[in-house]
Amino acid sequence: MSDRTRPAWQLWHDRGIRLAAGLAVVVAIPMAVLFYFQFRSLNDIEKTSTTVLRRLSSDTADSLVETVEGYLKRPYFNVLLRVPQARVEPLDLPFIDPVMRDALRESPYVTSFFVWTERGPDSNKWLAYDQQSLAQPAGDINGRFREDNVFGAKLLPRLRQLVKARMAIVAFTEQVNGRTYYVQAQLRFESFARERMTSVVGLVVDAERLRSEFIPALLRDQLSNVPQPVGFPSLEAAVLAEDGSRIFESDPSRHDDTPVDERNFSIIFFDKELAAFAVPYEQQREIWGLRTGYGPQSIPEIVSASTRPQMALMVVLAVAMSLGVFLVAGAAAREVRVAEIKSNFVASVSHDLKTPLALIQLFAETLELGRVRTPERAQEYYRIINGEAKKLTRLIENILDFSRMEAGLRPYRMEPANLSEVVTRVLARMETQFAQGHFVVQTDMAPALPRVLADEGATEQAIENLLANAIKYSGESKRIEVRAQLNGDHVAISVTDHGVGISRREQGRIFRKFYRVQRELGGGPQGTGLGLAIVDHTMRGHDGFVRVSSEPQQGSTFTLHFPIPGENAFRPTLSESLR
């Protein structure tokens, strides 16, 4: 009778079919769940990437606009507000000289500052202060302030006309010798009625040079400090004038960009909140637009393109693994067991690696972006980064040491050692981790402990593993006790915590490789299951042993017993003496 004609109950008695069906169920269901969560994870990655890219673009656009506006209004605060009317009527050139000198150096886009007054010995002179002025000797005040009749003849009548508006701030554009200039002035009046102008302090900016040189240079410098997204197109920016002409492009080859964010800013040289009080800028302001984007594609298209290969790879893997279920049916039981052990180990290692790395990256990026407001907070972040790096080092050392132990390649170099000093070094090295977790460590070191033969590096690692376990499983209790004392013919090093504890049933298994205590609620700290296995191997390599005393919810005490050698153990042999 063929398989097709056999009843279903007879087919079920076929061990091969049962094994194949069982393997299909055991493998297919977890893999289906895994791929489901992987697809959800990719979807979450797309959402997160979209948010990050949008936030980067928005923050960059805001930052660039804020930088340009701050760059343009600098002279207003540095000169126009710092030169009071009393220093102009009459002119106090020794006072005005350093103010304009510093402002001209800080704002090189200013063509010249100017000052005019109708009072004092220099009355009715249009005095300009520009780059040529900086070349004159510091003591030659009259040489540094030169009379500029060209600008004076053009601008003074315009300013007298604007007095009718009775505004203290005037801003306009003017053609001088065929070039366009932005002009801004602070008018000073005879009285509060503002009917008669008695002096003026202002600035002139070459519009073409501002457009072609200074603004592009400023934006290039700012964009060089913007962190670019990894694995995505770089963030680019462009500035357009009111007429649509491009003032600046970070990448001139990308004219077909799809803008993500657009911002507008006015070409004014004072706080934009004062624009309504400036004549005649409340009616006619030159407004430029700033755009940021990632090229011709929109953000959803960019993110989708980045995850598409992973999705295709997952589909291929799903098909390949489905076929593999039938190809490995004969060795399924053994392979499932090995795969489970490896999967748990890799997952644990990945978790233990990912968490410190994520914290290091988080606090490093915070420090890099300059978002730390106080030195104390920065020092705290440095301590956290250092502590997480030490956790990674200990995890990697545990894995490497376990690999050498399994291969029989882990030698121990026995030398006379003072265990009190060894414990002190380990506690000092882990001080940052104790501080991060707010642990109180109490030590009790018996005086004059005899020296033992030990490999100090391996001993330090064993003690550090016990302290790391105490930190991990202390729960709400933040107290750890470390003791070093004599115990018969052994020196005993004990580490006590007051945390979750270990049941008697599991105390005999915790020194097995890869074994981790199972919590009833499935939660609790993760780990590779290698720490205590390494401790046990180390103590057996020292002809000693490790003991545990624990009660659930009462805490645990792990004690390392190092044998005390005889009197002749530390005497050099004849061959060593002759070296």
Task: List b or e across 146-177, with b for residues whose CB sees 16 or more CB atoms inside 10 angstroms.
Answer: bebeebbebbbeebeebbeeebbbbbbeeebe
Q: What is the pLDDT of residue 280?
A: 66
Express each pLDDT in 282-341 by its tens digit.
556 788 999 998 888 888 888 888 777 877 887 787 777 777 766 665 555 445 544 555
Considering only 83-92, 193-202, 399-408, which range has the smallest mean pLDDT?
399-408
Q: What is the pLDDT of residue 231?
A: 81
Considering only 138-147, 227-236, 306-315, 512-521, which range has the smallest mean pLDDT?
512-521
CA atoms of 383 and 369, how far apart (whole Å):
18
Residues 213, 68: one domain? yes
- As a whole-number percent, the residues of the chain with pLDDT over 70 amount to 79
The last residue of one of the domains, among 327, 355, 388, is 327
What domain range is 472 assigned to? 412-570
CA atoms of 256 and 246, how far apart (whole Å):
13
Q: What is the pLDDT of residue 538?
A: 84
Say if 363 falls within a structural domain: no
Residues 176, 271: one domain? yes
Q: Given pLDDT bands bounded at 50, 70 and 90, which one contains residue 510?
A: confident
Q: Measured between alpha carbons, how far is residue 548 from residues 209, 494, 551, 555 in Å?
A: 79, 9, 10, 11
Whether residue 542 is predicted with pLDDT greater than 80 in this model: the reply is: yes
Q: Measured between alpha carbons, how far is residue 300 from residues 46, 54, 432 in Å?
A: 8, 10, 43
Find all residues with CB under 8 Å of 203, minimum gap 6, and list them: 75, 79, 80, 110, 111, 112, 113, 114, 183, 184, 185, 269
Q: Given pLDDT bands bounded at 50, 70 and 90, which one contains residue 570?
A: low
The last residue of one of the domains, among 297, 327, 357, is 327
Residues 310, 429: one domain? no
Residue 318 identity: A
Residues 427, 546: one domain? yes
Residues 320, 438: one domain? no
**DSSP sequence for 506-549:** HHTTTTSTT--PPPTTS-S----S-HHHHHHHHHHHTT-EEEEE
Q: What is the DSSP letter of 267?
A: -
Residues 87, 230: one domain? yes
Task: Return the H-helix or E-strand segment holding 171.
Answer: strand 169-176
CA atoms of 466 and 456, how far apart (whole Å):
15
First to last CA, the chain: 85
Say if 345 falls within a structural domain: no
CA atoms of 144 and 132, how far apart (whole Å):
8
Q: What is the pLDDT of residue 11?
A: 44
Q: Given pLDDT bands bounded at 50, 70 and 90, which one contains residue 169?
A: confident
Say if 193 falls within a structural domain: yes
Instruction: Tell how strand 287-293 and strand 440-445 pair up.
Output: unpaired
Residues 314, 420: one domain? no
Residues 302, 440: one domain? no
Say if 298 falls within a structural domain: yes
The last residue of one of the domains, among 274, 305, 327, is 327
Whether residue 202 is predicted with pLDDT greater than 80 in this model: the reply is: yes
Instruction: Tell how strand 278-279 and strand 169-176 pair up.
Output: parallel
User: Where residue 503 sits, what CATH number does that domain have?
Assistant: 3.30.565.10
Residues 431, 305: one domain? no
CA atoms of 279 and 184, how far apart (whole Å):
10
Count: domains in the chain? 2
525 or 313, which is more confident? 313
24 or 47, which is more confident? 47
Residues 167, 270: one domain? yes
Residues 176, 77: one domain? yes
Express each pLDDT in 356-377 by its tens digit.
787 788 878 887 777 777 888 7
319 or 274, which is more confident? 319
Q: What is the pLDDT of residue 537?
A: 84
Mean pLDDT of 164-177: 88
CA atoms of 445 and 219, how far apart (whole Å):
63
Say if 398 falls within a structural domain: no
Say if 229 falls within a structural domain: yes
Of 92, 178, 97, 171, residue with least CA distance to 130 = 97
Q: What is the pLDDT of residue 534?
A: 81
Say if 407 falls within a structural domain: no
Say if 104 falls within a structural domain: yes
pTM score = 0.50
Task: Return the H-helix or E-strand segment holding 299.
Answer: helix 299-327
Mean pLDDT of 88-116: 93
Q: What is the pLDDT of residue 200?
A: 94
Residues 317, 435: one domain? no
Is 391:531 a contact under the CB 8 Å cutoff?
Answer: no
List, in sequence order, every residue forming a beta bridge with 171; answer none if it has no partner.
184
Q: In what order do the strands lie in the sheet with 278-279?
A: 146-147, 127-130, 110-117, 197-206, 179-189, 169-176, 278-279
Is 464:430 a contact under the CB 8 Å cutoff?
Answer: yes
